[in-house]
Amino acid sequence: MRDLSRDVSFLSINTATLKTLTLRQAVETLSRHGIRAIAPSRDRLAECGVPEAARILADHGMTVTGLCRGGMFSAGDGASDDNRRAVEEAAAIGAQCLVLVVGGLAAGSRDIAGARRIVRDGIAALLPHARQAGVKLAVEPLHPMYAADRACVNTLAQANDLCDALGPGLGIAVDVYHTWWDPCLKAEIARAGTHKGRILAFHICDWLVPTRDLLLDRGMMGDGIIDIRCIRGWVEAAGYRGHCEVEIFSAENWWKREADDVLRICVERYQGRC
């Protein structure tokens, strides 16, 4: 396993962790902390425009570990156009992948199997465009508590099955928050590892006990019960050599703190607890 304790070479920060900052503010703050990798959300790009965002990122030498997000394939006809735009934005900022939060049940539907077919077909339809643009698509299995309304891909096994079925250009974002509970996690990470480059991103934060909100109560690494280092070991054994991307949604805690404090603690925990 890589030794992360000495620097921040493989640390990336998702802009969701620094909720209140614009892209420029986020990039400048990260730079002050020596952090050279970021994963922006599309709304941060939209605020300044994609060309300006690309300039800001390039001027600061930022590695873009992912663009958040495409997907929502069950949302209806608009999804297709929006996903093509997301691919173009990912290409414009040189993102290592476009993260796909695939969507849950269609409005009024109780057909989870049907939703999963819609997702498979939606990714299949988007893939040629992504390949042409040179953008990798990273399907992100989300925790089963989001199966109804955010993502009906809930296990790494499902994500591996999609990659097997749909071929090159599709990979996986492994997020410890969404997957730590899965009894098949180790085996499915190893399965992903048999395909070079399939694991496109590794997201970290922590599961708090108790968790007070389904969406906005994620913890800082070390504050919860996920054995992050263990999972990182599995991911690295599977060949992953990319960044650890910190993605913390935390309305009542981390989003209320100063960005400099959040980053200082991110670095400390990344080096000591991951």
The yes or no reply on residue 233 touching its own copies (CB under 8 A) is: no
How many chain residues bind its own copies (CB under 8 A)? 32
CB within 8 Å of 141: residues ≥ 6 apart: 151, 153, 154, 155, 156, 158, 159, 172, 174, 175, 178, 179
Find the shortest distance in angstroms from Cβ 175 to its own copies.
13
Any contact of residue 180 with its own copies (CB under 8 A)? yes
Query: Least separation, in Å, of the C-beta of 236 and its own copies?
Result: 18
Q: By CB under 8 A, name the one of 9, 20, 109, 194 that touches its own copies.
A: 109
> Which of 50, 251 has the CB closer to its own copies?
251
* 147 contributes a contact to its own copies by CB under 8 A: yes
On whether the CB atoms of residues 272 and 6 are closer than 8 A, the answer is no
Q: Decide: is 227 part of the binding site for its own copies (CB under 8 A).
A: yes
Q: What is the DSSP letter of 141?
A: P
How far apart are the C-alpha atoms of 55 and 33, rounded to whole Å? 20
Q: Is 149 in the site for its own copies (CB under 8 A)?
A: yes
Q: Does 181 bind its own copies (CB under 8 A)?
A: yes
The correct pick among 105, 127, 166, 216 for binding its own copies (CB under 8 A) is 105
Among 52, 211, 252, 260, which residue interacts with its own copies (rule: CB under 8 A)? Answer: 211
Structure tokens at 25: 């503010």
Peptide bond just before 40 cis, omega within 30 deg? no
Shortest distance in whole angstroms from residue 148 CB to its own copies: 5
Nearer to its own copies by Cβ, of 54 and 226: the residue is 226
- CB distance 13 to 39 below 8 Å: yes
Q: In degrees rounded to 5, what are phi and psi of residue 38? A: -150, 155
Backbone angles phi, psi at 71, to 5 degrees: 115, -135
For Cα atoms 96, 243, 231, give the angle at the middle one, nearest 5 degrees: 120
> Which span sits near its own copies by CB under 8 A: 45-53, 83-91, 93-101, 177-185?
177-185
Taking the least distance from each CB to its own copies, the nearer of 64 and 156 is: 156
Q: Are strands 137-139 and 98-101 parallel, antiparallel or unpaired?
A: parallel
Using CB under 8 A as the criterion, which residues of the chain lie in contact with its own copies when the complex forms?
Answer: 105, 109-112, 116, 143-145, 147-149, 152, 154-155, 157-158, 180-183, 207, 209-212, 214, 224-227, 230
